[in-house]
Amino acid sequence: DAGVTQSPTHLIKTRGQQVTLRCSPKSGHDTVSWYQQALGQGPQFIFQYYEEEERQRGNFPDRFSGHQFPNYSSELNVNALLLGDSALYLCASSGDRGYGYTFGSGTRLTVV
């Protein structure tokens, strides 16, 4: 049984560019959440998608947006990249109401 799959594993982008990160949830999970983990810090909640709608959002600017597809997979988009967006981006899937979180291995984004 595959867990949460994220792609790509590593990415280097230039300041001002746009990036798209992808996540496939664990089988049977219908809710996808995204977290940003800066170096040496704990993960910070970006937003959560359920039934293709953003259900909850953390304290992140509108440059961060997402999407959930009918097969429950999800994308995280970041526009106008800043150096400070360099981080490990973690995707987590869960069943209803966030129980049973499973995290992916993350995408390491470096903005230069």
Partner 1 sequence: GNSVTQMEGPVTLSEEAFLTINCTYTATGYPSLFWYVQYPGEGLQLLLKATKADDKGSNKGFEATYRKETTSFHLEKGSVQVSDSAVYFCALSDWDKIIFGKGTRLHILP
* Binding site residues, partner 1, CB under 8 A: 31, 33, 40-45, 48, 55-56, 58, 90, 92, 97-98, 101-106
Least distance in Å: CB of 96 to partner 1? 10
| Closer CB to partner 1, 20 or 95, in the complex | 95
| Closer CB to partner 1, 14 or 40, in the complex | 40
Least distance in Å: CB of 16 to partner 1? 28
Both structure tokens of 70? 């009918």
Tally Cβ neighbours within 10 Å of residue 79: 14
Which stretches of the chain are assigned E, i.e. beta strand? Answer: 5-7, 10-13, 19-24, 31-37, 44-50, 53-57, 64-68, 74-78, 87-94, 102-103, 107-111
| Closer CB to partner 1, 14 or 53, in the complex | 53
